[in-house]
């Protein structure tokens, strides 16, 4: 990684942060995906986590459009994408130190 510079270095660092084993607790993105049901079968989840981690490494407050753009190369056949986008937004807020909780509609749907 010493030979990398700029965005390539930040992306490599993000990948290392996701890949670093931590048996004691989930990372913020993992926790948000699990909490919001953004991962079901799990085929797509590793790639979404890596892409989201890379995004948050360079953009701590991404817009919904930026999240969609960053994750556009990944396909999910189970959840749709709304919960995935919401999980990234929740993790981003928590990583910024905000006391973020998901909206009731996010957890239980609309009445």
The contact set with ligand FES (CB under 6 A) reads 39-45, 76-79
> Do 32 and 64 meet the contact criterion of CB atoms below 8 Å apart?
no
Residue with Cβ nearer ligand FES (44 or 56): 44
Q: Which of 6/42 has CB closer to ligand FES?
A: 42
**Nearest approach, Cβ of residue 70 and ligand FES (Å):** 16
Check: CB of residue 101 under 8 Å from CB of residue 111.
Answer: no
Distances (CA, A) of 47 to 19, 53, 105: 11, 10, 26
CB of 43 to ligand FES, least distance (A): 4
Minimum distance of ligand FES from residue 39's CB (angstroms): 5
* CB-CB contact of 48 with 71 (8 Å): yes
């Amino acid at each position: 990684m010493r030979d990398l510079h700029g965005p390539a270095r930040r992306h490599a660092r993000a990948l290392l942060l996701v890949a670093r084993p931590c048996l004691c607790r989930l990372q913020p993105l993992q926790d948000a995906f699990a909490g919001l049901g953004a991962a079901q079968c799990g085929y797509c989840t590793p790639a979404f986590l890596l892409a989201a981690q890379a995004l948050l490494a360079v953009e701590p407050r991404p817009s919904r459009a930026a999240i969609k753009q960053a994750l556009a190369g990944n396909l999910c056949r189970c959840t749709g994408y709304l919960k995935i986008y919401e999980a990234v937004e929740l993790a981003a807020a928590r990583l910024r130190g905000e006391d973020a909780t998901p909206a009731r509609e996010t957890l239980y749907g609309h009445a």
